Amino acid sequence: MRWPIALCLLLLAACTQYGTIRETMPQGFQPWQSMPPEYRLGPGDEIEIKMIYHPELSDRMLVAPDGRISLPLVGTVHVEGKTTDELARELKKLYRKELRDPDITVIGRSFASQRVLVGGEVMAPGVYTMTGRLGVMQAAMLAGGFRETARLDQVALVRRGPYDKPMLRIINVEAVLNGAGPGNDVPLMPYDIVFVPRSTIAEIDLWVEQYINRVLPFGRSFNYSINRNTNPATQ
């Protein structure tokens, strides 16, 4: 999954292109699950492909910037966005055309795709690398902190859940800052999206459609509203 540089520029423009307020329940989201989703490969990750019965074909390699790897016999394979198990199954199908009953294991050795997207009412919206445990508030601090127009009690956390469907959780960062709700500062996962809305605007459908859908492989039909009075997930 690529995070194009142009996205950062689009993100800056998005900060002034929200829709109108609409008090509705979020649509198209599955229930929030605290269990982290399986890690999905991205550019810069190092993987090891082990061919049990053909060790001469085993190799360790880096995922290229375009999300692909090059393998003997089968050529170029797109791996970005796949789990190691999904990639192993795909490689077995490809190698069956060349080998009898290939037994393949894919192991992640190092991961460079530890990035999150921070947008909305922060000083420096963009993509940031996770170098350790990172919470919602810490991610906002990496993005230069909050603007005066930020609505801190309605910060949206979007995460890809099972079956590539999005999950939404509303984080009360204001409570975290005041010491009243430290448990709200949810640890982030790679490719999470933190969106800080304006203090006077609840609706962000337009931002979701134009920007989030270009980053995460969600369906193009979903949309949601950040409701002022309804929290779709328990903090």
pLDDT tens digits for range 201-229:
444 554 555 445 544 444 433 333 433 33
The encoded tokens of residue 45 equal: 């990750």
Between the CA atoms of 138, 141, 147 and 152, what dihedral angle is there, to the nearest 10 degrees? 10
In a domain, 230, yes or no: no
What CATH number corresponds to the domain at position 75? 3.30.1950.10
In a domain, 219, yes or no: no
Do 18 and 121 reside in the same domain of the chain? yes
Please, which pLDDT band fits residue 146 given cuts at 50, 70 and 90? very high
Q: Is 93 helix (H, G, I), strand (E, B) or coil?
A: helix
Domain span at 79: 46-110
What CATH number corresponds to the domain at position 125? 3.10.560.10
Task: Identify the pLDDT of residue 107.
Answer: 95
In a domain, 142, yes or no: yes
In a domain, 232, yes or no: no
**Do residues 105 and 52 make contact, with C-beta atoms less than 8 angstroms apart?**
yes
Task: Identify the pLDDT of residue 20.
Answer: 35
In a domain, 153, yes or no: yes
- Structural domain tally of the chain? 2
Alpha helix (H) residue ranges in 50-135:
84-95
In a domain, 222, yes or no: no
Do 84 and 174 reside in the same domain of the chain? no
CA–CA separation, 106 vs 147, rounded Å? 44
Q: Is 192 helix (H, G, I), strand (E, B) or coil?
A: coil
pLDDT tens digits for range 106-117:
999 988 768 888
Do 137 and 183 reside in the same domain of the chain? yes
Do 163 and 93 reside in the same domain of the chain? no
In a domain, 58, yes or no: yes
In a domain, 66, yes or no: yes
Residue 76, strand partner residues = 70
Measured in degrees and rounded to the nearest 5, phi and psi for residue 195 equal -120, 120
Closest CA to 175 of 185, 165, 167: 185
Do 21 and 59 reside in the same domain of the chain? no
pLDDT tens digits for range 10-19:
444 444 344 3
The encoded tokens of residue 52 equal: 């049990």
Task: Identify the pLDDT of residue 55.
Answer: 92
Do 205 and 121 reside in the same domain of the chain? yes
Do 20 and 124 reside in the same domain of the chain? yes
**Do residues 113 and 190 make contact, with C-beta atoms less than 8 angstroms apart?**
yes
Do 117 and 194 reside in the same domain of the chain? yes
- 0.85 cut: is pTM over it? no
Task: Identify the pLDDT of residue 1.
Answer: 42
Do 73 and 125 reside in the same domain of the chain? no
Do 71 and 119 reside in the same domain of the chain? no
